[in-house]
Amino acid sequence: MEFFKPGRQFDFMKQRVFWIPFSLFLVFASTVLLFYPGPNYGTDFRGGTEVEVAFVKHVDASQIRSALEAGGFKTPDVVQVVHPSDKDRFLVRVQDTQELQEAAKGRVKQALCTSEGGQVDPVRCPESARASELKFSPGGDKLIARYETEPDLKKIGEQLTSVPDIRFHASEGNPRLLVTASKNDHKVEIHLPSKGDELLEKLRVKLGDAVPEKALKIEWVGPKAGKQLRDSARNSVAIAIVFIMLYLAFRFDLRFAPGIVVACVHDAVVILGVFVVLQKEVTLTTISAVLTIVGYSMNDTVVVYDRIRENLPKYKGKTFAQIINLSVSETLSRTILTAGATLLSVLPFMIWGTGVIKDFALAMIIGIVAGTYSSIYVAAPLTEWIDSRLAKGNDARSLARRPAAQPKPA
């Protein structure tokens, strides 16, 4: 499908006087926004607990926030989730996690009669309630205890109930015996109330029966893990761009590589800048969208570069800027079809999607527009500028190598 008549050309390079400063402004503004006020990192990156709750009765965000602040949670983040069947569904995030301190772990070990917990009392610690090994989950909401003999689950529950500062509630299935391959290997799984369970309890104090018995989703990330994820996300984007540059330098030549790298950085920074302006959360989903756009932008720019490379030997009398105009014009219909089809496939997720899907679609839409634009007005002008600088350098070297004219005899 052709949107323009064959042979029609547009003078894209003439407009670069306007678009290059505009691109510099976008990148500069986005970079400033990334430092101040900075991205609104999600639980993935900053650490904390995230609970999704579908309330039984009507509540609003201010009521939920007030109830959590009264319960001791500092600066809770409450976001309403648009859902067709649940009008009172909210996503609640707090920067608290259920992490047992070493002192608390020591009391638990002593209560479960491990050898590491101190002297074992044979009266309080019969063989069926004496753990030989104890492992704590990173979130502090689950324990795995190993026993040499058939464990007494009731006795284990009583031991944990006696531990101060441990809110253990014995119930059917807690603690529970795990099925293992060996009959002599007895493992018991013990669940402690998580920070999400505590959050629901605090909500019930103020909101009563409007709070459901269970949350739809409880997720947590420790602050150390959040920092590691944040660093890994940044490194993954940087490594992807470096390998793209190496690939392009190998496939084309060194003139083309910087243009596409700058275009990819431009697209990634603009996406993050828009997310800061809109106060959207930057999560692992956002980073995956950024990496997708980096690949999309590279593919779009490679198509233009490939046509430039084909046209260079055909039109030796034309300047590099004229060849860029011709090549971009020839690939413009393809660019519109590709970008349009991708936008149409993502747009429904933006309109009818919820939560992380909606944010992913938003990042994709921004990236598709930025990626299409940067292929024409960021990558191509930079390549033309590099080519002109290399040409001037070659001319200067040729003049330097040319022998000086001999003076005529008198």
pLDDT over threshold 70, residue 49: yes
Burial class (CB in 10 A: 0-12, 13-18, 19+), 83: middle
Q: 143 near 190, Cβ under 8 Å? A: yes
pLDDT over threshold 70, residue 278: yes
Highest mean pLDDT among 97-101, 235-239, 371-375: 371-375
* Residue range 303-320: mean pLDDT, rounded: 86
Residues whose CB is less than 8 angstroms from the CB of residue 208 and which lie 6 or more positions away in sequence, other chains included:
none
**CATH code assigned at 109:** 3.30.1360
The kind and range of the H/E element at 380 are helix 380-401
DSSP state for residue 72 in the 8-state scheme: T
When pLDDT is cut at 50, 70 and 90, the band that residue 264 belongs to is: confident
The pLDDT of residue 117: 47
**Which position has the higher pLDDT, 68 or 234?**
68
Residues 319 and 380 in one domain: yes
DSSP state for residue 86 in the 8-state scheme: -
**Which position has the higher pLDDT, 397 or 308?**
308
Tokens of 21: 């400063």
pLDDT over threshold 70, residue 202: yes
* Residue range 258-272: mean pLDDT, rounded: 88
Residues 172 and 215 in one domain: no
Q: How far apart are CA 292 and CA 299, in angstroms?
A: 11
Instruction: Give me the residues paired with residue 219 across strands.
Output: 50
Highest mean pLDDT among 19-33, 92-106, 313-327: 19-33
Q: What is the CA radius of gyration of the chain?
A: 31
pLDDT cut 90: percent of the chain above it: 8
Residue 368 lies in a domain: yes
Residues 345 and 325 in one domain: yes
- Tell me the CA distances in angstroms from 116 to 8, 133, 271, one per residue in order: 82, 9, 52
DSSP state for residue 375 in the 8-state scheme: I
The pLDDT of residue 109: 81
Residues 120 and 94 in one domain: no
- Tell me the CA distances in angstroms from 309 to 264, 304, 315, 324, one per residue in order: 20, 9, 11, 10
Residues 306 and 172 in one domain: no
Residue 397 lies in a domain: no
- Tell me the CA distances in angstroms from 61 to 75, 197, 198, 214, 356, one per residue in order: 13, 19, 18, 19, 19
Residues 327 and 210 in one domain: no
Residues 264 and 344 in one domain: yes
Residue 396 lies in a domain: no
Residues 315 and 376 in one domain: yes
The pLDDT of residue 28: 94
pLDDT over threshold 60, residue 132: yes
Residues 92 and 106 in one domain: no
- Give the count of domains, the chain: 3
Residue 2 lies in a domain: no
Residue 407 lies in a domain: no
φ, ψ dihedrals at 281, nearest 5°: -75, 140
Residues 128 and 62 in one domain: no
Residues 74 and 202 in one domain: yes
Domain assignment of residue 201, given as a range? 48-98+197-221
**CATH code assigned at 286:** 1.20.1640.10
pLDDT over threshold 80, residue 59: yes
pLDDT tens-digit readout, 329-368: 888 888 888 888 989 999 998 888 766 788 889 999 999 9
When pLDDT is cut at 50, 70 and 90, the band that residue 402 belongs to is: low
Residue 405 lies in a domain: no
Considering the chain, what is the average pLDDT of its residues?
80
pLDDT tens-digit readout, 88-131: 888 888 876 666 667 777 788 888 888 654 566 677 778 778 88
Do strands 89-94 and 77-80 pair parallel, antiparallel, or not at all (unpaired)?
antiparallel
Residues 171 and 305 in one domain: no
Residue 404 lies in a domain: no
pLDDT over threshold 60, residue 196: yes
* pTM attached to this predicted model: 0.68
* Residue range 308-324: mean pLDDT, rounded: 86
Residue 265 lies in a domain: yes
DSSP state for residue 174 in the 8-state scheme: B
pLDDT over threshold 70, residue 140: no
**CATH code assigned at 74:** 3.30.70.3400
Q: How far apart are CA 232 and CA 39, in angstroms?
A: 16
